[in-house]
Chain A
Amino acid sequence: MRCAVEQELLLETSNVLNGACLTGIADQLGEELFYSPPSILGQGERIAKMLERDNLQWESALSVEINYKLENRSFDCDLLLLMPDTVISHLAGKLDQMLEDL
């Protein structure tokens, strides 16, 4: 039971951080994002193992790492954004457009 409560808290926290970050990016790009409920891929596992190539549908991805810390609290985490190669061109197009508009 404790485990389920912990997991729920973990998902809730990730959802808030992800949501804030992704909404911010989407706003700047003028895009509407659709996202599915967060889920736990693994716990206490090495990230490299979870991202083994056999498990993925893409060859390479653009990765953005964002570190979150709370002052005076023992809270520290990394938000890892992985954008697969198939969507990069779309993103690049959007960025070009933004630069032109400047």
Chain B
Amino acid sequence: MAALLDDALRDVIDRLDVGVFVLNRDLEVLFWNNSMAANSGKPVSEVVGQKLPELFPELPERWLRKKVDSVFILNNRSFTAWEQRPYLFRFQHNRPVTGGVEHMYQNCTFNPCRGDGDEVEVVAVTLQDVTDLAMAHRALAITNDRLEQSSRVDGLTGLFNRSYWEQCLVGESKRSKRSGSEFALIMFDLDHFKAINDHYGHLAGDEVLRAVGQRLQQLIRETDVVGRYGGEEFSVIAPDCDVDGACGLAERIRTEIEALSVVHEGLPIHVTTSLGVALYAAEVESHEALIGHADEALYRTKHEGRNSYRVYRSG
């Protein structure tokens, strides 16, 4: 009865759709099931009695020896997961639809097997095909990235939207408070934008906004954060920036936008912009207060003739 049961179990293990093989301390293969034979293309007769690293030179031998040794010494199961080590053996996967994946993702378990005594005599390794799971995870990660991206960006201009831009401002204020570094906030809007909409139509207005967004992205530093604050209102956070730097940036934005020529239905449209500059320093209470300062400066620019910039003065 026991022999029958042993045979039956061996048969089941042989036919499992999980790779199973058994190694001794010298990494010699003692057992190799059907799944391993089918996936590796190496039948039992070629494998049993041979050393694994010699059969598969592409295996990370040093790592594998350490892994197997630890199981022998500690009598403790050990694992590999596809997230950290995509595969042990470079097998082809059996998916009909590949999704750009060229190999089988694997989770492996190294099980210590004791003989009659206390010593571990062999290590039985199971190898599970987790390609489906890995592909689903990857697809999910890509979707999440895209979602995160689209939840941050204003669809029309490609700039950050207001809510993400505000998050950045809050973050920058905190960072600045901690490190004592200065940063600049520039708020600006397009002069007489309503007239463009009224005169050329809203599509033309949209085209102007898109062109301004594109131009802004080209002229800011990598660390600057530029967002669309509202309809025709934009805002730039410029970290590690003093008054001179901020004025330089404001003037550059002003001249670049003035130089823009947006062609709509064969007609060139020109816009100018009015800017307000505020610096974040220790005495500024909050990020809201800073927005207020930049707004105040912007208001002054408009009041004093537009197509220019002003810096906020306290008091």
Q: Does A15 contact B83, Cβ atoms closer than 8 Å?
A: no
Q: Does A19 contact B81, Cβ atoms closer than 8 Å?
A: no
- Known contacts A4-B83, A11-B84; decide if A16 and B76 are in contact (CB<8 Å): yes
Q: Name which of A35-43, A47-55, A67-75, A88-96 contacts chain B.
A: A35-43
Give chain B nearest CB distance to A21 CB in angstroms.
10
Q: Mark B48-84, 1 if CB is under 8 A from A, else 0.
A: 0000000000000000000000100011111111011
Q: Which residues of A does B touch, CB under 8 Å?
A: 4-5, 7-8, 11-12, 15-16, 19-20, 23, 35, 37-39
| B109 CB–A CB distance under 8 Å | yes
Q: Does B70 contact A16, Cβ atoms closer than 8 Å?
A: yes
Q: Does A12 contact B85, Cβ atoms closer than 8 Å?
A: no
- Interface size class for chain B? 10 to 19
Determine the residue in chain A with the shortest Cβ distance to B86.
Answer: A4
Q: Does B79 contact A38, Cβ atoms closer than 8 Å?
A: yes
Give chain A nearest CB distance to B251 CB in angstroms.
41
Determine the residue in chain A with the shortest Cβ distance to B85.
Answer: A8
Determine the residue in chain B with the shortest Cβ distance to A35.
Answer: B77
Determine the residue in chain A with the shortest Cβ distance to B107.
Answer: A37
Determine the residue in chain B with the shortest Cβ distance to A23.
Answer: B76
List 21 interface pairs A-B (beta carbons < 8 Å), by A numbering: A4-B83, A5-B84, A7-B83, A7-B84, A8-B80, A8-B84, A8-B85, A11-B84, A15-B76, A15-B78, A16-B70, A16-B74, A16-B76, A20-B76, A23-B75, A23-B76, A35-B77, A37-B79, A37-B81, A37-B109, A38-B79
Determine the residue in chain A with the shortest Cβ distance to B84.
Answer: A8
Q: Mark B270-310, 1 if CB is under 8 A from A, else 0.
A: 00000000000000000000000000000000000000000
Which residues of chain B come closer than 8 Å to A4, judged between CB atoms?
Answer: 83-85
